[in-house]
Amino acid sequence: MADDTGKPLPKPPYLGAAYYPEAWPQEQMDAEIALMRAAGMNVMRMAEFAWAQMEPEEGRFDFAWLHRAVDKLAQAGIASILCTPTATPPSWLTTRYPEVLQMTDCAEGVRTQHGGRQHACPNNPVYRKLCAGIVTRLAKEFGQHPYVIGWQVDNEVMPIKWRGCRCPVCVSRFHDWLQAKYGAIESLNQAWGLNLWSQAYHAFDQVPFPRADTWHHPSLQQAWVDFQSDTYVEYVNVQAAILQRLTVMQPVGTDMMMMASVSHRDMNRDLDVVQFNHYHNMENLWESLAWFDYLRSLKAAAFWNTETSPCWDGGTAAHGYREPGFNRANSWLPIAMGGEANLYWLWRQHWSGQELMHGAVLSSCGRPLHVFEEVQEIARGFRAAASFLDGTRPVLRPLALHFSMKDHVLFDQQPMTRGFQYLRAWLDTVYRPLLQAQLRPDVIHPAAALDLYRVVVSPYLAMLDEGGLRERLRCWIEAGGTWVAGPLTDVRTLEGTKYTHAPFGTLEEWAGVHGRYDLPADPRLFNVRWPDGTTAAGSAWFSGFEPRGAEVLATYADGPLAGLAAITRRRMGKGQVIVLGTMPPPAELLRLLGQVTDAAGIAPVAQASANLLVAPRAGAAGEGLVVVEFENRSGSLTLDRPRTDLLTGQPHAGAVTVPPYGVLVLR
């Protein structure tokens, strides 16, 4: 397909960057676009912070500069992703309507200043109206342009430091939100257990917002973050609805970060494409795989990696240099795992402002940086494998791993044991061992359907009622599923309070155990003895069980829990429940999970070293593997059948060596 320029429309996989034509002289645009073509890029993301250029005065619009950019890119065969500019209101707006500025914890009743971004209140009705005006005009200008292939709403929306705006509008809306949720103030008092410390309220408008200088009730903190998330979702959806109404075949999303202060699932429910920004470096690149696994489960459509650094990070100081080859691996990982776009932040380094030292593809002088040839190589690889990638999808696995943003917030507010961090523990003690063993689970939200899976692992899933999981999980287990739960699973209500009838909601009943004692993992760890007599220290938490119909798989070897069960198994209907009272070291966890997955007929995706992503794909274009080395050292892979690398045309069979940061697309 082509438009009236005669140029064919770009197809996935998309490779591009964030481009800010408003920051540069217009006469330089042709030279920059020539370099984009030389780099092999086929899409540019524009306009996310350009409200002042689009509407220099209230009601006076100027889109000529943006039309020029979109049209010139189109003439070069490069598509555009356009962004709503609502993260950065112009100075005329904040001067004329100062009530739109946020109030934060800097001082009671003091509003933020103009000059940053995300400094306007997403709930303010004046700001909502002005945002709707600019988004409507932008959509009418570009909603039918064939080379605009998608939209981004705002930029990295999230409450500031998880606490967000505390202006009168937000506080009033919070009270309304609480009343809609609980109905009567007595119900809130009961749910939060507010008889303690004389905290009970007589009316919803007495409930304060949580300030940084006050030791607030955890249920209040949890509710405030949930409210903030809901209102940011609403803020984005108002803009998205305008775009969805006024554009044709242009998917709408919003670029989200890893932070957990806004629900990724809720935010993407009514959007068309999941968009994600990440800045992992050489030491933690593997962590991005967990996020890609999670993003893939949120929507059937392929996700877009809308921002990542090609070479280093930085604000007014550069940091995090990446070795040659990193950009290759970093660019291929989202594509291998189900994405269809990888975009760099940014195309050309800024020459001024708060982020003028951040890495890019070009320097601020317009000269190609050292990664330019690597970008060209990536572009050639994307083109060589395009038909296969476009005609296949990642193969679904019958193994799932629960991940909860709500639990991330819960443990941030109440860690339960000193130093415990949900995301860090989830990544290091469970996801990474499974990744290294090539078991490659799907990462799913508690509300996700379970019928595709034979084994589900739910570590640190404190609130089992999120997304209505408890009852669905019961039915799934009884129908034949294997559930591996704990530690710290099913220990909190949705309000963040404890259960009073037992340490767990229903876990004791399902697992056939009686919880005797719990011990924190501070200041020491306790050992677990396995059936072969070996011992190893647990971590995170220590729950000691008496079996009440359960089979004991491991016991505590020392401390007050000595002799009590640490890990148990029990049949439940046609399925089974395995409970971890503590998190064993990776080797012991994998030994246990290996037995479980073997029994369920779940094999590793490949015989490969721990530093390789091996991503099976299948579809109309055939079946194959995308292999990416992500730790900057050689890896090895043993193929079960001969395959051909689409990037080089080289055939491979048997043992294959993958070089540091190497990529293979094997069909």
Q: Is 48 a catalytic residue?
A: no
Decide yes or no: CATH 3.40.50.880 for domain 399-599: yes
The gap from C-alpha 644 to its chain's centroid, in whole angstroms, comes to 33
Q: Per the structure block, which two tokens stand in for 24?
A: 């540069």
pLDDT tens track for 388-434: 999 999 999 999 999 999 999 999 999 999 999 999 999 999 999 99
Residue 373 appears among annotated catalytic residues? no
Instruction: Judge whether 581 and 528 are in contact, CB under 8 Å.
Output: no
Q: Is the peptide bond before 324 cis (omega within 30 degrees of 0)?
A: no
Active-site residue (options: 141, 307, 508, 629): 307
For 36-72, give the DSSP string.
HHHHT--EEEE-TT-HHHH-SBTTB---HHHHHHHHH
pLDDT of residue 147: 97
Residue 116 has a pLDDT of 87
What count of other Cβ atoms lies within 10 Å of the Cβ of residue 102? 22
Residue 142 and residue 148 in contact, taking contact as beta carbons nearer than 8 Å: yes
Q: How many CA atoms lie within 13 A of 237 on its CB side?
A: 11
Domain definitions of the chain by residue range: 14-166+224-391, 399-599, 607-666
User: Alpha-carbon Rg of the chain, whole angstroms?
Assistant: 26
- C-alpha span between 482 and 510 (Å, rounded): 12
Per-residue pLDDT, 539:
97
Q: Per-residue pLDDT for 595 more than 60?
A: yes
Taking each helix axis from N to C end, the angle separating 185-192 and 218-246, rounded to the nearest 10 degrees, works out to: 120
Region of poorest pLDDT, from 246-260, 264-278, 279-293: 246-260
Report, as an integer, the average pLDDT of 628-632: 98
Task: Report the C-alpha gap between 35 and 367 in whole angstroms.
Answer: 9
Beta carbons of 598 and 439 less than 8 angstroms apart: no
pLDDT band at 162 (very low <50, low <70, confident <90, very high): low
Q: List, for residues 203-262, the tens digit of each pLDDT value.
A: 999 999 888 788 999 999 999 999 999 999 999 999 999 999 999 999 999 999 987 689
**How distant, in Å, are the alpha carbons of 69, 144, 419 from that of 295?**
31, 28, 28
Q: What confidence tier does 4 reach under pLDDT thresholds 50, 70, 90? A: low
Q: What is the pTM of this model?
A: 0.96
Give percent of the chain with pLDDT exceeding 90. Answer: 94
pLDDT value of position 104: 81
Asked whether the domain spanning 399-599 has the same topology as the one spanning 14-166+224-391, the reply is no
497 CB burial (10 A radius; 0-12, 13-18, 19+)? middle
Mean pLDDT in residue range 61-87: 98
Q: Which residues contact residue 623 at a Cβ distance below 8 angstroms, ignoring those fewer than 6 apart?
A: 392, 395, 616, 617, 667
For a pLDDT cut of 70, what percent of the chain falls above it?
Answer: 98
pLDDT tens per residue, range 488-536? 999 999 999 999 999 999 999 999 999 999 999 999 999 999 999 999 9
Q: Are 388 and 444 in contact (CB under 8 A)?
A: no
The CA distance from 161 to 123, in Å, is 17
Statement: 607-666 belongs to CATH 2.60.40.1180: yes
- Residue pair 278/309 in contact (Cβ under 8 Å)? The answer is no
Active-site option among 32, 48, 141, 156:
156
Q: How many angstroms separate the Cα of 525 from the Cα of each of 506, 538, 557? A: 27, 6, 11
**Position 639 pLDDT exceeds 60:** yes
CA nearest to 301, candidates 269, 256, 264: 269
Over 60: is that where the pLDDT of 2 sits?
A: no
Chain position carrying tokens 């037995």 = 595
367: burial class by Cβ within 10 Å (0-12, 13-18, 19+)? exposed
Average pLDDT over residues 459-470: 98
Q: Average of pLDDT values for 314-321?
A: 95
Residue 268 · residue 298 · CB < 8 Å: yes
With contact defined as beta carbons under 8 Å apart, do 294 and 264 qualify?
Answer: yes
Residue 643 has pLDDT above 90, yes or no: yes
In this predicted structure, what is the pLDDT of residue 259? 73
429: DSSP letter: I
Of 126, 154, 125, 127, the closest CA to residue 138 belongs to: 154
Tell me, what's the pLDDT at 5? 59
Cα–Cα distance for residue pair 583/425, rounded to 1 Å: 10
Q: Quick one: which of 340, 328, 245 has its CA closest to 292?
A: 340
Burial 455-464 (b: 16+ CB within 10 A, else e): bbbbbbbbbb
What pLDDT score does 223 carry? 96
Beta bridge mates, 456: 400, 483
The per-residue pLDDT for 528 is 98
Residue 557 φ/ψ, nearest 5 degrees? -100, -15
Average pLDDT, the chain: 96
Closest CA to 203 of 165, 172, 168, 236: 172
Q: What pairs with residue 301 in β-bridges?
A: none
Q: Which residues of 146-177 are buried (b: 16+ CB within 10 A; e: fewer)?
A: bbbbbbbbbbbbbbbebbbbbbebbbebbbeb
Name the residue with tokens 């049209």. Answer: 71
Under the banding of pLDDT at 50, 70 and 90, the label for residue 577 is very high
Question: Which architecture characterizes domain 14-166+224-391 according to CATH?
Answer: Alpha-Beta Barrel (3.20)
Cα 190 vs. chain centroid, distance in angstroms? Answer: 34
CA 395/CA 605 separation, integer angstroms: 10
Cβ contact 148:138 at 8 Å? no
Core vs surface per residue 554-585: b (16+ CB within 10 A) or e: bbbbeeebeebbbbbbbebeebbbbbbbbbbe
pLDDT one-digit tens code per residue, 118-150: 999 999 999 999 999 999 999 999 999 999 999
Write down the pLDDT at residue 110: 87
pLDDT of residue 105: 61
- Predicted local distance difference test score (pLDDT) of residue 183: 98
Residue-level pLDDT at 164: 86
